[in-house]
Chains A and B, each alone.
Chain A
Amino acid sequence: TDIFSVLKGGGSTLLGYIGIDTIIEQMRKKTMKTGFEFNIMVVGHSGLGKSTLVNTLFKSQVSRKSAGWARDEKIPKTVEIKSVSHVIEEGGVKMKLTVVDTPGFGDQINNDNCWEPISKYINEQFEKFLKEEVNITRKKRIPDTRVHCCIYFISPTGHTLRQLDMEFMKRLSHSVNIIPVIAKADTMTIEERQEFKQRVRKELEMSGIEFYPQKEFDDDMEDKSDNDKIRETMPFAVVGSDKEYQVNNKRVLGRKTAWGIVEVENPNHCEFAQLRDFLIRSHLQDLKEVTHNIHYETYRAKRLNDNGGLHPISTNGTHDSNL
């Protein structure tokens, strides 16, 4: 029931209906008007299909594909951070989507500390938000450039995680929501995928690395049960494509090989559809909330402590944690 019909109808309170549930509708109207922001980062060495995947996820050219390094083009000496924003609209909902690409990651001979520019970028966005928050006159809606989700592309070696994978996830899983995916999964058979996934999950567990959705942030039993199912399927084995082919009288996105067409959105072929539903249709808001309520708050608390921004009240010597 929309607000309009509720207002017109009047509604007898004698029957016990106050109308509190309409606040949901009031909120919805407001959020539709203001729109949403979503910032997604992709990390993985070149050639793993990062841009293709993001374009496939959002069904538009939101990420520019690199054609590989041309012979006279140099591989960047350090990891670059390139962010591109687009406003996309669907069903009356406007979303400002920002894709943050990280070319150069893992491409050098010596990849020591190649995660540092990424960590720096993430913290810079937290800092930007924090500065706005403590300002005297604050904007009504602080622009949110914080990274809500980082898709980490694992090479489909079929063996185990590489050291770089472990280093990256270990260092960044406490600043950003990491969603690991197995890239170019069409190089592995279904059995190979399952084994690989199990090994990856085991390795991550043994090193104490938690990817999103983190167990400790499950709100209640319902969330836990939903998220357990997802955690047991992760990392999603994905294939991306922006080319269409005709399969069984339908146009589908896929990759055409001599031995058949890999259909991106076919759940029997790969887990792209699952990733998309998880990322966009069910957990988009939660990704933002965990970023805001947990990762950002962690950054903020550390920042305030580090700079001695919170002195004990000096006059009477009591130690208060805030004023």
Chain B
Amino acid sequence: YISNLQFLSMKIKPEKQYVGFATLPNQVHRKSVKKGFDFTLMVAGESGMGKSTLVNSLFLTDLYKDRKLLNAEERINQTVEIIKHTVDIEEKGVKLKLTIVDTPGFGDAVNNNECWKPITDYIDQQFEQYFRDESGLNRKNIQDNRVHCCLYFIPPFGHGLRPVDVEFMKALHEKVNIIPLIAKADCLTPNEIKKLKDRIREEIDKFGIKVYQFPECDSDEDEEFKQLDKELKECTPFAVIGSNTVVEARGQRVRGRLYPWGIVEVENQSHCDFVKLRNMLIRSHMHDLKDVTCDVHYENYRAQCIQEMTSKLAQDNRMESPIPILPLSTPDVDTEKLIKMKDEEVCKDVI
């Protein structure tokens, strides 16, 4: 870990035309390392889909050590809960505060009508909290609890998306980045997996579900990177397997599941897409997931919120504005147009 002055003396000898602001990314990087990062990941899906195991496998933790599994009777009156686990992970000097938002009870009841409501409420509450903080006077230590990504576990046993899957994803796709996964993929043959993936992709299209899209590759990336990126996109939804146990396979100790007919290796890319998911989630797209949450989902929430407030104010005839939208006392032409547009959109949906 080097100090600023050391860094300067390490720098290359200044050439004639070298000003030195090419060090700017390093300056930004140094500050970020000091500050650390945070990431909030939500997992949703019925009990027994291997959510906890997968999270443990992804982050090499044991977040669910003291968990007590409920039996069927205990679950009869269970409603969907929201449980947060936070863990601090440090690697090569980079600190990450990871929050896992678990949703036990989802889809477990007999009647699952609107079982996603506690989840959408939770996501909205985080947006609302951030909006308040951002609009407040003292913005020094805002805590960002917004959900950056939701892993949705689809059971491998069916023939594609079930009604609850479709409704859940549609209720959430404009609030959070959804990454659908095929859970417990070790019960399917490669052919079955391919068929299921194709079917799910078709249905996602058909129902107009907006899952998280990987950003386009830069035109100046090299061909191999573009190929990798293409393979990643064609592989969705990822078929995953998780494991908390270590087994011996091919002379190595690996995370896996031991069956009489063979050993499933979690990190073997020909066995499942775990590695692809991990690489995408952590090593290449974590920053983009956060960006899309801030720039798209949150901004949509905020715009809607402000619009609701302003129309309510107009109704109530109040002169005071409860949020600092400053003396924009007469909305300008553009804002009026925008509000009108959004009103029309809302009406369209209702019809």
| A74: Cβ under 8 A from any B Cβ | no
Question: How far is A13 from B244 in the complex, measured between Cα atoms in Å?
Answer: 12
If the complex has contacts A14-B253, A20-B96, A21-B93, are A311 and B17 also in contact, measured as CB distance less than 8 A?
A: no
0/1 string, B236-260, CB within 8 A of A gives 1: 0000000000100000011100000
Question: How far is A305 from B283 in the complex, measured between Cα atoms in Å?
Answer: 43
Size class of B's contact patch? 35 or more
If the complex has contacts A4-B224, A134-B325, are A289 and B283 also in contact, measured as CB distance less than 8 A?
A: no
Q: In the complex, which of the residues B20, B222, B303 contacts A280, with contact meaning CB atoms closer than 8 Å?
A: B20
Provide the residues of chain A in CB contact with B327, threshold 8 Å.
Answer: 307, 309
Provide the residues of chain A in CB contact with B4, threshold 8 Å.
Answer: 226, 282-283
Q: B: which residues have CB within 8 A of A?
A: 3-5, 7-8, 11, 14, 16-25, 27-29, 31-34, 37, 57-60, 89, 91-94, 96, 132-133, 135-140, 218, 222, 224-225, 228, 246, 253-255, 267, 269, 275, 278-279, 282-288, 291, 295, 299, 302-303, 306-307, 320-328, 335, 338-339
Q: In the complex, which of the residues B19, B28, B324 contacts A57, with contact meaning CB atoms closer than 8 Å?
A: B19
Provide the residues of chain B in CB contact with A220, threshold 8 Å.
Answer: 34
If the complex has contacts A36-B24, A137-B299, A313-B322, are A24 and B60 also in contact, measured as CB distance less than 8 A?
A: no
Provide the residues of chain B in CB contact with A134, threshold 8 Å.
Answer: 135, 324-326, 328
Tell me how many residues of A have a C-beta within 8 Å of chain B. 77
CB-nearest residue of chain A relative to B299? A138
Question: How far is A59 from B284 in the complex, measured between Cα atoms in Å?
Answer: 36
Q: Give the Cβ gap from A267 to chain B, nearest Cβ, in Å.
A: 12
Binds B, one of A27-35, A45-53, A114-122, A186-194: A27-35
A26 with B284: CB separation less than 8 A: yes
Question: How far is A129 from B265 in the complex, measured between Cα atoms in Å?
Answer: 53
Question: How far is A286 from B92 in the complex, measured between Cα atoms in Å?
Answer: 23
Q: Which of the listed residues B96, B135, B291, B335 has the most CB atoms from chain A within 10 Å of its own CB?
A: B135
Provide the residues of chain B in CB contact with A131, threshold 8 Å.
Answer: 326
A20 with B138: CB separation less than 8 A: no
Within 8 A of B (CB), among A284-323: 284-286, 289, 293, 297, 301, 303-305, 307-311, 313-314, 321-323
A19 with B278: CB separation less than 8 A: yes
A19 with B282: CB separation less than 8 A: yes
| A69: Cβ under 8 A from any B Cβ | no
If the complex has contacts A20-B91, A59-B17, A90-B22, are A26 and B286 also in contact, measured as CB distance less than 8 A?
A: yes
